[in-house]
Chains A and B, each alone.
Chain A
Amino acid sequence: MKAANRYRVLLPLQVDTREGGSFRQGDVFETDFTPDEEATNVETGLLEIVPARFKVIGEQRVAETDPGEEFETVMTLGQQQMLIDGGHIERVETPPPAPKSRSRKKKEEE
């Protein structure tokens, strides 16, 4: 399983993703950042990571959560991937964000 995050646009700027989406302040989207790209965008204040749900699948407690239980937290892609590769957690899939923000660019083009 590959680490993934959703992001919220914090600044009054338009964010275009390589998948073709176009998002503005307050919009939430998912895209395939590298850990470095994610770190840069978060450090500059452009984006924030949206909390995600994870399930503890290993034998050790993670984020003060017992094995078999779920928790919600903000985790960078790098941290997530190391925990996934180590057999500690798996991501609990939640419905993707509303498609309205993805189609904003198309609507404007129309």
Chain B
Amino acid sequence: MAIIVFTNALALVNSVDLSNHCSKVTTTDERAEVDVSAMGSGFVQVTKGLGNAQIDFEFLQDFAGGSVHATLSPLISSTTPVPAETRPVNSARSATNPAILLASALMFTYAGLDSQVGDAAKITATFKNAPGGTGITYPTS
């Protein structure tokens, strides 16, 4: 095992490898806290409720054919689930390079332009679990 310096992560959206335009990725796999405290509890009793699975990508925008905008823009109006995946390193899945996978995802936020003068044109795309989806999984093969 080794500490990772994040330089070559994988960013897959609908199977398209946009890693060479991705500058940041954030994955969220959480469960709501549900208070089930009752009389006689000495402490607040908390159990797990619904899960929230989300992957946020930050991309350097590119309007060239077959690049970032061409890949992402159709997804915002679509209700067809697509896979969204990231890996620590842009190489095959393995025990030390697991995928973080939203196998059935819908894109809910697409900021096509969000930059000030002089900045690199970076945009964000947020993917969440689609109906019937099973949240984030961590396959190693």
Residues of A participating in the B interface, judged by any CB pair closer than 8 Å? 35, 43, 57-64, 73, 75-76, 78-79, 82-83, 85-88
In the assembled complex, 5 residue pairs joining A and B whose CB atoms fall closer than 8 Å, in A order, are A60-B20, A62-B15, A75-B15, A78-B82, A82-B14
Excluding A58-B65, A60-B16, 5 further A-B contacts by CB distance (< 8 Å) are A60-B20, A73-B15, A78-B81, A82-B14, A86-B16
Once bound together, how far apart are the Cα atoms of A86 and B78, in whole Å?
13
Q: Which of B20, B70, B78 contacts A87 (CB 8 A)?
A: B70
- In the complex, the answer to whether B80 meets A35 with C-beta atoms within 8 Å is yes
Q: How far is the CA of A85 from the CA of B82 in the complex (A)?
A: 15
The residue in chain B whose Cβ has the minimal distance to the Cβ of A43 is B132
Contact: B75 with A60, CB < 8 Å? no
Interface of chain A: mostly helix, strand, loop or mixed:
loop
A-B CB contacts (within 8 Å), total count: 60
Question: A residues within 8 A CB of B16?
Answer: 58, 60-62, 83, 86, 88
Interface size class on chain B is 10 to 19
Contacts of B67 in A (CB 8 A): 58-60
Q: Is the CB of B66 within 8 A of A60?
A: yes
CB closest chain-A residue, reference B68: A60
A78 to B15, CA, bound (A): 13
- From B17, B65, B70, contact of A64 by CB (8 A): B17
CB B66 to nearest CB in A, in angstroms, measures 3
Residues of A within 8 A of B66 (CB): 57-60, 86-88
Q: Does B18 contact A (CB under 8 A)?
A: yes
Residues in chain A near residue B40, CB distance under 8 A = none
Q: Is B42 an interface residue (CB 8 A)?
A: no
Query: Which of B65, B78, B132 interacts with A82 by CB under 8 Å?
Result: B78
On whether the beta carbons of A60 and B17 are closer than 8 Å, the reply is: yes
Within 8 A of A (CB), among B108-134: 132
Chain A residues within an 8 Å CB radius of B20:
60
B64 is an interface residue with CB less than 8 A from chain A = yes
- Chain B nearest Cβ from A13, distance in angstroms: 23
In angstroms, Cα B103 to Cα A75, docked, is: 12
User: Is B23 an interface residue, CB under 8 A from the partner?
Assistant: no
Given A58-B66, A59-B66, A85-B74, do A78 and B17 touch, yes or no (CB 8 Å)?
no
Contacts of A57 in B (CB 8 A): 66
The interface residues of chain A lying within 8 Å CB-to-CB of B14 are 79, 82-83
